[in-house]
């Protein structure tokens, strides 16, 4: 039986702490909901936030058992740094810095209220909640450029082998009379981030006791995302070629993205099932 959190004690004895965290979290969550979470590359944000909180609450018995107040001086130093970054991110509308600073501040509060033993125990929920932080634009460009080029090249080679009139220049595809730019959303960025987050949650929850196998399964997320998005881009190219650009950029564009993500996620589950014999071999032997 999991003990319920003592919210009355927290709110009556630690109300300044609760009020301060709420004052920081509320505007950041609103900004995320109005910005990054509405974009295709940030659709996993709400899922990560809710499941991350659940991961903390499910260990509440262990938190109460290990609870020991942290060092107030260390907490003050980390919290001061987090608040400076938070204010800067808020003032300059840099949501990545703002969200990361909020996570750092909450980690500092967790350390002060529950102690280092709990922070160490909660390392995965903390890292997992990091997926709520949207990546800055310059980092997105660094990640997506080679991914876009890889997807573009693979799709061009496959369709050219099937005798379609297709050519490529960088990340721009030419098919028939049409010119298509392989954008971030079509090149796997959204799938890579979202699949990594959900795959990480799945592996931790079901395979966390086997670190070697968990790492192997997580590494498979990258090629799965690339393959799935090659199929997506190829499908959009063929839709453009046969039906026109209006069809490819309309409802079918978003529908193809949804189908691609769900298919890639299911492929992770299937791969986990197929690799069951390997997982059994890697399981720690009982003493």
Catalytic residue numbers, as ranges: 186, 232
How many CB atoms lie under 10 A from the CB of residue 31? 17
Query: Cα separation of 216 and 268, whole Å?
Result: 11
How many CB atoms lie under 10 A from the CB of residue 14? 14
Nearest to 197 by CA among 31, 59, 33, 50: 50
Most distant CA pair in the chain, distance: 72
Which phi and psi (to 5°) does residue 113 adopt?
-85, -35
Tokens (6 digits) for 138: 């310059």
Query: Cα separation of 235 and 171, whole Å?
Result: 16
Query: Cα separation of 126 and 204, whole Å?
Result: 13
Tokens (6 digits) for 158: 């496959």
Q: Please, are residues 257 and 185 in contact by the beta-carbon 8 Å criterion?
A: yes
Number of residues that this document lists for the chain: 287
Q: Please, are residues 187 and 148 in contact by the beta-carbon 8 Å criterion?
A: yes
């Amino acid at each position: 039986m999991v003990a319920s959190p003592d919210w009355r004690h927290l709110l009556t004895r630690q109300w300044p702490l609760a009020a301060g965290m709420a004052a920081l979290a509320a505007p950041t969550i609103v900004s995320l909901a109005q910005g990054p979470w509405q974009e295709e590359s940030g659709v996993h944000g709400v899922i990560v936030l809710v499941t991350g909180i659940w991961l903390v609450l499910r260990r509440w018995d262990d938190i109460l058992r290990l609870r020991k107040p942290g060092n107030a001086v260390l907490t003050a130093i980390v919290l001061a740094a987090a608040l400076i970054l938070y204010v800067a991110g808020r003032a300059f509308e840099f949501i990545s810095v703002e969200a990361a600073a909020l996570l750092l501040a909450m980690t500092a509060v967790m350390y002060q209220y529950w102690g280092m033993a709990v922070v160490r125990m909660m390392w995965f929920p903390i890292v997992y909640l990091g997926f709520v932080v949207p990546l800055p634009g310059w980092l997105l460009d660094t990640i997506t450029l080679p991914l876009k080029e890889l997807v573009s090249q693979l799709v061009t080679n496959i369709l050219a082998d099937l005798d379609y009139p297709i050519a490529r220049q960088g990340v721009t595809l030419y098919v028939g009379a049409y010119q298509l730019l392989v954008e971030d959303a079509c090149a796997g960025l959204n799938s890579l981030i979202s699949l990594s987050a959900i795959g990480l949650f799945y592996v931790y929850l079901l395979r966390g006791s086997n670190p070697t196998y968990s790492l192997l399964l997580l590494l498979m997320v990258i090629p799965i995302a690339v393959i799935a998005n090659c199929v997506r881009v190829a499908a959009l190219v063929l839709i453009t070629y046969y039906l026109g650009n209006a069809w490819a950029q309309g409802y079918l564009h978003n529908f193809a993205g949804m189908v691609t993500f769900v298919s890639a996620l299911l492929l992770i589950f299937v791969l986990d099932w197929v690799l069951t014999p390997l997982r059994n071999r890697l399981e720690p032997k009982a003493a």
